[in-house]
Structure 1
Amino acid sequence: MQLGKALTNLSIRQGINGEQMAKELHLDPTTVSKMKNDKRNVTTDTAHFSLQVYDDGEYTQDVAHLFTDGRTAPTKMD
């Protein structure tokens, strides 16, 4: 699942960089960078864990939209 824009927007709203996000998600910084650039898919487990780590309504809605094949309303991801 490509979640790059949502992860990028999340990091901006949270005021964290890729290294901090990687640490909080227990991932390698390179993995987070690839996910943010849509060069690596986000697994369901990683998406679920990220929802537990970050209490962010827009991100939650974006994840729901992507993981339900568009059956939920997206947020504006630009």
Structure 2
Amino acid sequence: MKWYQEALVRVFSSNILTFLFQFIAWGSVSVLIAIDKLGEFNFHVYLGALPIVIIQALVMTYLIRWVFKFCTKNININ
């Protein structure tokens, strides 16, 4: 496997790394949405949206893990 394929396998085969990846991605999206709606960054509004970001990251983590396991069940990753 190429280096970037190995990196993706390592990230998506770990629950913690996948969750951190999703949390950063959805946290960034929520910041952009908050700035777009308010015209400026409001930390209080962002903290109010944080539980939704965490739930979204958890849901996407388990969906990605399920798809990853399904797609790689016949592939020897080692």
Taking structure 1 as the reference length, what is the TM-score of the superposition?
A: 0.27
Richer in helix (by share): 2
Larger radius of gyration, structure 1 or 2?
2
Taking structure 2 as the reference length, what is the TM-score of the superposition?
A: 0.27
